[in-house]
Structure 1
Amino acid sequence: MSIQVHEIYKSYGQVNALDNISFEVKSGELFGLIGPDGAGKTTLFRILTTLLLPDRGNARVAGYDVVRDLNAIRRHVGYMPGRFSLYQDLTVEENLEFFATIFGTTIAENYDLIKDIYVQIEPFKDRRAGKLSGGMKQKLALSCALIHRPKVLFLDEPTTGVDPVSRKEFWEMLKRLQEKDITILVSTPYMDEAALCDQIALMQDGKILEIDTPEAIVRHYPKPIYKVGAHDMYLLIETLKAYPHRHSVYPFGEYVHYTDTRMDFDSGELQTFLEAHNLSEIHIEETAPTIEDTFMELAKP
């Protein structure tokens, strides 16, 4: 196993940032931590990269203990924090050379590892990092995290605030890195990115709600789910919430995802109820659950 986490706890005053966190990541696996802001993802990353000590529990990364072997871990991991943390006044090339020097290597020595990424920003190698676009900053940060050829790569919400095209390109790069036998632990609040991971852990309020493959997590959804549409989205949501048999009501694009408390759901009865509340152009259709649906169900109080 590249990462082993066993009963990790971390609190800040009265707030439990991490509450009994345990999971394992296999060598060469792309593992996703999925959850909203405040779920505990960044705190966990800081513990696993030796920037923060846990209150209780233990963890190993690349075979090393995160408390006792911090220097060894830092040699074998790459870390891309959520905020752009490179030197804004240095150029693209100067940043990369600086990080290579810190780890006792050179750009040339490990260029084969970052080539696919770096060629996209090489035309701007003399531009200061602070003047790059969001997508270019992302590629530079990833290049710097990889320049010493780490065994394990930690990426904390790497696509937050990045345009959709750059997000797609970034995940394609991660898949290529997997082929080079690099273990990747990535956190994201985006449920659509969860489907691109080999395994995911759904996190909320410092706890892991479920760990499995994206496909298995979706299969675990316990109820039939229906997409419901009408001419007035706000009125539709409020009316569905008032329906006596509703279990859950969540906006989902141009539709509302609805589940019923009864297994013998009657779409005609629901349509009559909606029409009685001045809704028209009503559409009710069973649909497949998504990871987001599963997360919302698991996170219900």
Structure 2
Amino acid sequence: MNAKSDIAIDVHGLTKSFGSRVVVRDLSMQVKKGTIYGFLGPNGSGKTTTIRMITGLLTPDKGEGTCLGYNIRTQADEIKLHVGYMTQRFSLYQDLSVRENLEFVARLHLMKDPVKAARDMIARLGLKGREEQLAGELSGGWKQRLALGACTLPSPQLLLLDEPTAGVDPKARREFWDEIHTLAAEGLTVLVSTHYMDEAERCHEIAYIAYGELLTHGTVEEVIRQAGLKTYDVSGPDVNVLLHDLQNKPGIDMVAPFGNSLHVSGRDAAALEAAIRPYRERPDLTWKHSEPSLEDVFIDLMSRARDNFQ
């Protein structure tokens, strides 16, 4: 393993099929150490399969690469020793206390002083005063903290998060992501699988996968810029009727409701202007130039993606 390298993940041409269906097709990516990297895409898009190949849990049909300096084909066991995994579903023992769960994990990983390791993690994550509370009695936010503590207790180099903030309140979400950014600043690399845009915007870089193909990647700003969408925000009465009028018109690539208005976008500025010209003359509608959102970009990408189930 090359300790001097600043690249945590470097894979090229990953392809995986199940039966006759290609689940991941010719995917290549690099992730720097200490990066929070978001995998986005609809259910069945190939996110989980990609992560499993990267971490040595699944052997690709084609492609090569390294994870944490280890070969994903020949050194899978070494990779697993350095990876922490936090599932969407709480997976610790409900009838053990916070302290007992953390001490159990520490002993499982043969840590020298499990009691101290658990005590230090309790202090770090603000769980003091809840040490003896049963895990099953914790709220969603406290369970989330405990799960994060358990999977980072053995000091992994790579952390996998599967929709980590589903079902928790905004304050708990903020505190969770604050801790993730602190861990990344300390050198931990984080892969986040999600299809929530607000979680994507908290990542340093993102990759959008649909039907097994990597459609775009980069920082949020780069992904939005690369999309080349010109966007209008239009408001007025009966925007739902307007949505159906504008859909599938030549020059309009994406129409989506946002609150009491619509986002109307197109990649060809001249064609978009021609399509909306008759509607801009209506006095009951207000049109304003708008920056495309990350969600605008992904809706547009999905509309152009090829469904590998078909």
TM-score range relative to shorter protein: 0.7 to 0.9
Instruction: Select the residue among 171, 176, 181 that pairs with 1:175.
Output: 181
> Could you tell me which amino acid in structure 2 is paired with residue 116 of structure 1?
R
For residues 246-285 of structure 1, give each alpha carbon's deviation from its aligned partner in whole angstroms, at most 9, with x where no partner exists.
332122233211025552726663234xx5xxxx842211
> Could you tell me which amino acid in structure 2 is paired with residue 57 of structure 1?
G
> Could you tell me which amino acid in structure 2 is paired with residue 291 of structure 1?
L
Change in 2 beyond 3 A, CA 1:57/1:85 = farther
- Distance across 2 between alignment mates of 1:81 and 1:50: 17
For residues 116-166 of structure 1, give each alpha carbon's deviation from its aligned partner in whole angstroms, at most 9, with x where no partner exists.
32x2x3433323323322222211111011001111111121112222222
Tell me whether 1:289 sits opposite 2:292 in the alignment. yes
Structure 2: gaps spanning 5 or more residues:
1-6, 305-310
Residue 10 of structure 1: aligned partner? 16
Length, aligned pairs only:
293
For residues 274-299 of structure 1, give each alpha carbon's deviation from its aligned partner in whole angstroms, at most 9, with x where no partner exists.
x5xxxx84221110011222222222
Do the aligned residues in 1 keep the contact of 2:254 with 2:299 (CA within 8 Å)? no
Greater shift in the superposed pair: 44-53 or 168-177: 44-53
Could you state the TM-score of these two structures normalised by the residue count of structure 2? 0.85
Shift of 1:234: 2.2
Shift of 1:93: 1.7
Change in 2 beyond 3 A, CA 1:270/1:208 = same
Shift of 1:215: 1.2
Structure 1 residues 211-250: aligned runs within 5 Å: 211-241=217-247, 245-250=251-256
Tell me whether 1:128 sits opposite 2:134 in the alignment. yes
- Distance across 2 between alignment mates of 1:185 and 1:247: 31
Could you state the TM-score of these two structures normalised by the residue count of structure 1? 0.87
- Distance across 1 between alignment mates of 2:27 and 2:122: 32
- Distance across 1 between alignment mates of 2:103 and 2:122: 13
Do the aligned residues in 2 keep the contact of 1:114 with 1:146 (CA within 8 Å)? no
Change in 2 beyond 3 A, CA 1:239/1:147 = same
Residue 270 of structure 1: aligned partner? 279
- Distance across 2 between alignment mates of 1:42 and 1:294: 22
Tell me whether 1:73 sits opposite 2:92 in the alignment. no
Identity across aligned pairs (percent)? 38
Do the aligned residues in 2 keep the contact of 1:159 with 1:167 (CA within 8 Å)? yes
Do the aligned residues in 1 keep the contact of 2:122 with 2:128 (CA within 8 Å)? no
> Could you tell me which amino acid in structure 1 is paired with residue 270 of structure 2?
M
Structure 1: gaps spanning 5 or more residues:
none
Residue 307 of structure 2: aligned partner? none
Tell me whether 1:202 sits opposite 2:202 in the alignment. no
Do the aligned residues in 2 keep the contact of 1:111 with 1:147 (CA within 8 Å)? no
Tell me whether 1:33 sits opposite 2:35 in the alignment. no
> Could you tell me which amino acid in structure 1 is paired with residue 280 of structure 2?
Q
Do the aligned residues in 1 keep the contact of 2:230 with 2:269 (CA within 8 Å)? no
- Distance across 1 between alignment mates of 2:135 and 2:129: 13
